[in-house]
Structure 1
Amino acid sequence: MRVSRKTWGVLGLAVLAQVGFSITEQGIPALNGFIKTDLGVSAAIAGLIVACFPLGRIGGSYAAGIAADRFGERRVLLAGGIVGGGLTVLAASAPVVGLCGLFFLAGAASAAATPAGGRMVLAAFPPHRHGLALGARQTGIPLGGLIATATLPSLAHAAGWRWALVFAGVLTVAFVLPLLRVELDSSSATPGAGPSPGGDRDVRLLTLWGSLVVVGQYALLAFLALDIHDATGRSLASASVLVVAAQAAGIAGRLGWGWLSDRGDRPRRKPMLLVLTSTGFVSALLLFAVPRSAPLGALLAVAVLAGSSLVGFQGLWITMLAELSPPGRVGATTGFAITFTVTAVTLTPPVLGLVADVAGTYRAVWAVLAGLLACAFIPALLVREPRDRLAT
C-alpha cells in the first residue's frame, strides 16, 4: 500500500514537534552547571531543580495520554508545547522555589509529546509501516537533544542561563505551531473510556522491558564520557565524541529496528525485540570488558553498537505498545508505560553514580547494566503480540 504525501507530512510535523519538546527536556540538564554557579547553590540543590522537570513528566504522562484519546492528539500536542514552552520562559525570571514549581508544571505539560505524537503517527500510517513511522518520530528525541547541547551552553556562557532557558522555551512553542496549519482527521479523537492499561499483562511486560532498557540509554549519556576520561586521561571533550557517536547510532537504530520489524504483510515485532535485547546485553558486556587502552576506533565501535540498541530501542517499543492498545486507548497505554520509564530515567544517574562511587570505578556501571539487560530477556520472551493474544 502506497503511503500518501499527506501522511508523510503528518510524520514530519510529529517529528518537528518532538524535537521542540526535547530541546527543553534535554536542554535544562545541560544548563545545570550554569544554574548552580549563578544561584550559588550546592550540587544537590542544583540537581533537585533540574530533576523537577522529569518529575513533572512522571506526574503528567498518563493524564496526557488520556487527554489525547479523549480530545485528539493535535490539540493535546499544541496545548502541551505552548503551555510547556511558555512555563519554561516564565521560569527564566523565577527565584529558586518558583523555578522548581514552574519546571515541574512545564514537565507535566511536556509529557504530552510521546502519547499524543505517537497516537498521531499511528492513526496516519497503515500497520505495515508502523515500525518505521514510529521509529522516525522517536528520532526527534535525540535530534532535539543534539540541538540543545550544541546551542544552549554556548548561549548561557555568552548571555546567561536565563536567556538560554527563554530560547529553549521559545523553540518548543515554535516547533509545535505548524500543527495549527493542518487539520487532522477528527475521527481519530475517540472517548477515552475503557480498562486501565495496567490491567493488561502484555502492556505491563513491555513497560517493564522499556524501564530496564532505558537505563542503558541514560547510563551512556551520563557515564560513558566520564568512564573514558577517568580511565584513559582523555579530556571530557574528546571522550564525549563517543557519546555523540552513540546518539547518532541511536537515531539510526530507531529507524532501523522499526523498519526491520515492518518486514512482511503481517509484521512480527517480537523477534526484533529479542534481537535488540541481545544487542544491548552484548554491548553492555563489551563496555565492561574492553580494555580502556584499546584504540579509539574499537571504543567507538562499542559505543555505536550500544547506541544503536540502548538509544535506538524506543521506536520498536512504542510501536508494540501502540499495537497492543485497544481502540481509543493508544494515548493512555503509551502514557502509562512512559510514567515508569521516566521514573527509571530520573533514578538512573544518582543510583548508578552511587554504584560507581562505592566500587571506585565507572566500569561497575556497565556490570550492573548488563545484569539489568539480562533481566530484560524475561519480559521480552513472555510478551505476546496481538495475533498471539487472539489465539489464546
Structure 2
Amino acid sequence: MAIGAVSVTTASVLPVFLTGALTVQISAELGFDPAGLGLVVAFYFGISALASLPCGWLVERFGASATSRIAVVGVAVALGAIAAFATSYAALVTLLLCCAWCNVLGQLASNLTLAQHVPATRLGLSFGLKQAAIPIATLLSGVAVPGIALTVGWRWAYVIAACLALAALPLTPRGGSTRVRSTATPGERATGALSVIGIAAGLGAAAANALGIFLVAAAVDRGISPGLAGLTLTMGSVVGLTLRLLNGWLADRRAGGHIAVVAGSLVLGAIGLALLAVPGTPALVIGTVLGFGLGWSWPGLLQFAVVRLHPSAPAAATSIVQTGVYGGGFVGPIAFGFIAAHGSFPVAWLVGAVTMLAAGVLMVLGRRMLLAHRAAAAQLAAS
C-alpha cells in the first residue's frame, strides 16, 4: 500500500515541478520571465487550495481506489496534452491547471489509503515514504534537464512523464468500491488549531515551493550552467527524500512531539534559504541541502500527526491543513517571481527565509492550541 501511495503522489505532483525545472527551456520558446513562471505555479496551487476541501469529501465518500485512479489518469492525459498543445504561455497555464485537481485528489486518496491499511506502528514511516514523492518528483525533474530537455527537447520530458504516470495505475489500491463515510463530528476535530497549523504550513510551503520551482533558474542567473543547476536540484531532492524517510522512521519511535519537530525543521530550514542569497557555489550547495533537508522535509510528518489525531476522518482532517499548503503554494510563487523579476533572486531568497521562520513560530502556536483542545476534550470526557 505504501508503494502505491508513493506512486500515486509522485505522479500527481510531477507536472508542476517538471515545469519549474524546465523553465529555462520552456520560457525560451514560449517567452515568459520568472514572474510568469511564478504566476502559472501560483494558479496551479490556487486551484488546488479551492479543490482541497471538496476533494477531501469526495475521497471520504467514494474511497481511495476510485479517486486514486482518476487522479493518475487525469495527470497522464494532461501531461501528454502539454507536450502536444502547449504552444503559448496561455496554453501552458490552461493545461497545467488541469493537473491541479488531480494532485489534490491523489494526495488525499493516498492519505486515506495509508490510514486504512497501514499498522499504527509503521504509519509514520509510511507517510514519510508517501511524502518522499515530492523530492522524487523534483529529482526526476532535475534529471530531465540534462538528460532530456538539453538533448531531445523539453516536450519529450512531458511525454516520458505521462508514461511514468500511467505506470502508477497498476499500483493504485484495489477493492475500493466500498464507500467510506466519516463518523467524526465537527467538534471532534480541533478545527481552530488545524486552521492555525494550516496557515503555518501554508507559509512554509510558500517558501519551500520556491526552492523546488526557482532553484534552477536562480542558479543559472548566478552563472551556473543549466545542466549543473539541474544536478544541484537533483542533489537537493535526494537529501529531501532521505530526510522525509528518516522523519517518518523516527516518528514511529516517538510518543508525540511531532508538530514541535516540524516547527524546528522550519526554523532551521530558513537558514538554508538565507544561504541561497549568498554568492558562491558552497553557499548554493549548503543552502540547497539545508533547504530541502530541513525546510521541506516536514509535510509527511505533519500529515502523520494530523491523521493520528483524527483517525475517523483522515482525508477530511488533512484537507484542512492541505488547504493552507496549497494556499501558500498559490501566494508563494507569485511573490517570489515578482521579487526576483523586479529585484533579484537573492532578495527573494531572503524574503523566503523570513517567511519560513514565521511559519515555524505559527506552528508552535498551533501546537499549543492543539494541546489545549485535547486537554479540554479529555476533561469533558471525564466529567
Q: TM-score range by the shorter chain?
A: 0.7 to 0.9
Alignment of 1:211-250 (within 5 A): 211-222=202-213, 243-250=233-240
Distance (whole Å) between structure 2 residues aligned to residue 142 and residue 81 of structure 1:
18
SS in 2 for 1:191: coil
Counterpart CA distance in 1 for 2:268 and 2:34 is: 34
Partner in structure 1 of residue 317 of structure 2:
333
Under a length normalisation based on structure 1, what TM-score does the superposition of the two structures give? 0.79
Instruction: Indicate the residue corresponding to 1:275 in structure 2.
Output: 261
Match of 2:2 among 11, 18, 21: 11
1:383 to 367, 370, 374: 370
Give the drift of 1:334: 2.0
Q: Which has the higher contact order (CA 8 A, sep 6+)?
A: 2
Alpha-carbon offset, residue 318 of structure 1: 0.7
1:42, 1:294 → 2: CA distance?
24
The one-letter amino acid of 2:241's match is: I
Contact conserved, 1:59 with 1:108, CA < 8 A, in 2?
no
Secondary structure of the equivalent of 1:254? helix
Matched, 1:59 2:50: yes
In 2, distance between residues paired with 1:203 and 1:305? Answer: 27
**Are residues 235 and 318 of structure 1, via their aligned partners in 2, closer, same or farther at CA, if it must alter by over 3 Å?**
same
Deviation at 1:354, TM superposition (A): 4.4
2:330 corresponds to: 346
- The 2-side partners of 1:40 and 1:234 are apart by 21
Once structures 1 and 2 are overlaid, which stretch shifts more, 29-38 or 286-295?
A: 286-295
2:67 counterpart of 1:81: no
Which digits, 9 at most, give the CA deviation of each residue in 1:351-373, with x for residues without a partner? 23545655884363334433443
Is 1:170 equivalent to 2:160 in the alignment?
Answer: no
2:40–2:93 contact (8 Å) kept in structure 1: yes
Q: Against the structure 1 CA distance between its residues 364 and 353, is the aligned structure 2 distance closer, same or farther, given a 3 Å change threshold?
A: farther
Tell me which residue corresponds to 1:373: 360
Shift of 1:45: 4.9
Q: 1:238 offset after TM fit, Å? A: 5.2
Assess if the C-alpha contact under 8 Å between 2:218 and 2:345 holds in 1: no
Question: Residues of 2 paired with 1:35 and 1:110: CA distance?
Answer: 22
Letter in 2 for 1:166: V
- Verify: 1:92 aligned to 2:77, yes or no: no
1:129 aligns with 2:122: yes
Q: Distance in 2 between matches of 1:46 and 1:225?
A: 12
Amino acid at match of 2:305: M
Alignment partners' CA distance in 1, 2:344 and 2:272: 18
Task: Please say if 1:101 is aligned against 2:94.
Answer: yes
For the residues of structure 1 that align with 2:127 and 2:11, how far apart are their CA atoms? 17
1:252 aligns with 2:237: no
| Contact 2:259-2:367 within 8 A present in 1 as well | yes
How far is the alpha carbon of 1:99 from its aligned partner?
A: 4.2
Mark the runs of 5 or more structure 1 residues left unpaired by the alignment.
1-9
In structure 2, the partner of 1:117 is 110
Structure-2 separation of matches of 1:160 and 1:80: 26
> 3-state DSSP class of the match of 2:168?
helix
SS of 1:112's partner is: helix
Structure 2: which amino acid aligns with 1:272? H
Q: Which among 287, 301, 317 is matched to residue 302 of structure 2?
A: 317
For residues 152-231 of structure 1, what are the structure 2 equivalents within 5 Å? 154-179=147-172, 183-184=174-175, 189-192=179-182, 200-222=191-213
Q: Secondary structure at the match of 1:92?
A: helix
Which amino acid in structure 1 is aligned with residue 107 of structure 2? T
Q: Which residue of 1 aligns with 2:30?
A: 39
Q: Aligned partner of 1:347: which letter? A: V
Distance 1:325 1:291, change over 3 A: closer
Deviation for aligned residue 1:79: 0.8
Note the C-alpha offset of 1:317: 0.6
Unpaired runs of at least 5, structure 2 = none
> In 1, distance between residues paired with 2:211 and 2:361?
17
Whether contact under 8 Å (1:212, 1:376) holds in the other structure is: no
SS at match of 1:111: helix
Read off the aligned partner of 1:274 and give its amino acid letter: A
Deviations, residues 158-193 of structure 1 (Å, cap 9, x unaligned): 4443333232223212222333xx634665x41258
1:261 aligns with 2:251: yes
Paired letter, 2:156: W
Cα 1:121–1:201 change in 2 (3 A) is: same
Please name the residue that 1:6 is paired with: none
**How big is the shift at 1:11?**
0.9
User: Aligned AA for 2:314?
Assistant: V
Alignment partners' CA distance in 2, 1:90 and 1:295: 37
Q: Which amino acid aligns with 1:379?
A: G
Give the TM-score normalised by structure 2. 0.81
Deviation at 1:75, TM superposition (A): 0.9
Seen in structure 2, the aligned counterparts of structure 1 residues 311 and 289 have a Cα distance that, compared at 3 Å, is: closer
SS for the counterpart of 1:384 is: helix
SS in structure 2 at match of 1:383: helix
Amino acid at match of 1:65: G
Percent sequence identity over matched residues? 21
**Structure 1 range deviating more: 280-289 or 315-324:** 280-289
Q: CA deviation at 1:30?
A: 2.5
Cα shift at 1:43? 5.8
Quick one: which amino acid aligns to residue 119 of structure 2? P
